[in-house]
Structures are given as C-alpha cells and as structure tokens.
Amino acid sequence: MLIFIAGPMSTSGEPGPNLNQACHEAAKLVDHGFAPYVPHLNWICDAIEPSLIDAWKNSNRHFIEHSTAILRLPGESKGADEEVRFARDTLGLPIFFSAEEVISQYGTQKLRRYPPQPSSGQDLSPSGKRR
C-alpha cells in the first residue's frame, strides 16, 4: 500500500530536520508493511540537478495519483499543502497526520517479496540453467 508523505522540506531554511522526520515516519510505515514514498529525498537529487525542481513536483503528483493515502507531517509548507489539496479535493484520498494513524486505519500489511522467492526446484537465474 503506497503512502505519500507530504511535509515541509526547506520552509525553515534547514532541510535536515525535515528530512529526518520524514524518514523516521517512513520507517514506521515500512515496519508495518507499507510502501511509503518520501519526496523529501528528491532534495538530494535537486542538489545535483537543481534545474529539475519543477519536474520533481510533477513527478510527485504521479506518485500521489497512485497512493492509497497521504501522511501530512507537521510544519508550514506551501508545497505540502498543495499536495494535500490535490490528493483530497481532486482524488478523494484520505489524509493522515501520523504513521500511527495510518497503521491504525489499515493495520499491518503483508507485502509480496521482490524478487519472488524460488520454490523448491524452481530456477530464477537469467540463463535458466541450474546453479
């Protein structure tokens, strides 16, 4: 279950604490079988390719469109507010304000393993040859 994490990134001028908060909330979700998307990690890519900020924002909308819900982290953020409005008003997605709320609503998820685990006698090697 894909959960989009919306929250402040650089509003305070210090992205570190915001990135830290987003990653901690994502870890809680992963621990319960969710697949969180942390757009805050785009900050790393933006540091390398700063001209792509608008492309990252557009990319985030695609992730929102495929999400089950939004986790809105505390703090002032025009970007996060826009993401929440799009998710709620356009897509009708539920908005949560803590990882615990998400977990309480949906319970622990059972994720499929990737790559699939071979069953006895099944060969998943690229060549198809037994190892």
Domains of the chain: 2-106 (3.40.50.10400)
- What's the pLDDT tens digit per position in 24-45? 999 999 999 999 999 988 878 7
pTM of the complete model beyond 0.85: no
Q: Can you spell out the DSSP letters for 55-94? A: HHHHHHHHHHHT-SEEEE-SS--HHHHHHHHIIIIIT---
- What's the pLDDT tens digit per position in 42-81? 878 777 877 777 788 888 999 999 999 999 999 999 999 9
Other C-beta atoms closer than 10 Å to the C-beta of 49 total 10
